[in-house]
C-alpha cells in the first residue's frame, strides 16, 4: 500500500510570497488532515476533511491560509502571503474511517522556510 504522498519536500521562499503544498492520501482514506509542526513541538491540527467537506478548520488562520480537497482525494494547502513565522513542517495525514479516533498515517511533510 502506497503511503501518503506530499510535495514538495522542501520549500524556501521570501516573505510575502505565496506557497502551496500538495497531498495525496492513501487510497480509500476518506479523512484527510493538515498539521503544522514547529521545531521541538508536536503536530497541531490546521484542518480536517471528511471526503471533500472541511469539518474542522477552527485552527486554520483564514486570513492567509486556505485549503481545498476537490473530489475528496488530493488536497492543497496554500499560504498567501507567507510570513516569517510560517516557517515549519507541514504534515498531511489520512485515516480510513471517519473522525480522529483512529490511526492516522502521515506523509513525510513539507519543510517550509520563509526568509
Partner 1 sequence: SQQGEEDPQALSIQEGENATMNCSYKTSINNLQWYRQNSGRGLVHLILIRSNEREKHSGRLRVTLDTSKKSSSLLITASRAADTASYFCATLTQGGSEKLVFGKGMKLTVNP
Could you list the residues that contact partner 1 (CB under 8 A)? Answer: 40-45, 56, 58, 91, 93, 99-109
Answer for the pair 32, 9: CB distance below 8 angstroms, yes or no. Answer: no
Measured between alpha carbons, how far is 57 from 5 in angstroms, rounded to an integer? Answer: 22
| Residue number with CB closer to partner 1 (38 or 80) | 38
Q: How far is the CB of 56 from partner 1 (least distance, A)?
A: 5
| Residue number with CB closer to partner 1 (18 or 61) | 61
Q: How far is the CB of 33 from partner 1 (least distance, A)?
A: 8
Question: On the CB side of 103, how many CA atoms lie within 13 Å of its CA?
Answer: 2
CA 40 to chain centre: 18
Identify the residue whose cell numbers are 511533510: 109
Q: How far is the CB of 64 from partner 1 (least distance, A)?
A: 20
Amino acid at each position: 500500500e502506497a503511503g501518503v504522498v506530499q510535495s514538495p519536500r522542501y520549500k524556501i521562499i521570501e516573505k510575502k510570497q505565496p506557497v502551496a503544498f500538495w497531498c495525496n492520501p492513501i487510497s480509500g482514506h476518506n479523512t484527510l488532515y493538515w498539521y503544522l509542526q514547529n521545531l521541538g513541538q508536536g503536530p497541531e491540527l490546521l484542518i480536517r476533511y471528511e471526503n471533500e467537506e472541511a469539518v474542522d478548520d477552527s485552527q486554520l488562520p483564514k486570513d492567509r491560509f486556505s485549503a481545498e480537497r476537490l473530489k475528496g482525494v488530493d488536497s492543497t494547502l496554500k499560504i498567501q502571503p507567507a510570513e516569517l513565522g510560517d516557517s515549519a513542517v507541514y504534515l498531511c495525514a489520512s485515516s480510513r474511517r471517519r473522525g480522529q479516533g483512529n490511526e492516522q498515517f502521515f506523509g513525510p511533510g513539507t519543510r517550509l522556510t520563509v526568509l
